[in-house]
Amino acid sequence: MRVQRGWVGLVGIFIALVIVAVLAQTVLRSYGLLGGAQSAASSGSRSPASVAPASTESARSTPAVTAPLEKARGLEQQIQQDARDLDRRIDDQTK
């Protein structure tokens, strides 16, 4: 029995590693950081003639990346506007 305890532990660690890998893959896909189902190794020929032009849908299918950028730009503009308003109020009070 003592000899097999080490193997049971290794199998348990392997199962935990597989669970973590699956969860990490799911999270990366939900964030849009993990590519599609086709990998570079299984893509076959890499010559320029074999590459199809990108569709317009693929350019529009990245809202996970553009939405936070647009939010950040909007927030930046709002902060700049608030700073200008505050400067204007301070200037009006000091006159």
Distance between CA atoms of residues 48 and 52, nearest Å? 9
Distance between CA atoms of residues 46 and 41, nearest Å? 10
pLDDT tens, residue by residue, 43-85: 455 555 555 555 555 555 556 667 788 888 999 999 999 999 9
Distance between CA atoms of residues 29 and 21, nearest Å? 12
Mean pLDDT (the chain, rounded): 77
Number of domains in the chain: 2
Q: Look at residue 85 and tell me if it is in a domain.
A: yes
Sorting pLDDT into bands at 50, 70 and 90, what band is 39?
A: very low
Quote the longest CA-to-CA distance of the chain: 89
Nearest Cα to 36, choosing from 47, 24, 28? 28
Domain ranges, residue 27: 1-34
pTM, rounded to two decimals: 0.35
Q: Look at residue 11 and tell me if it is in a domain.
A: yes
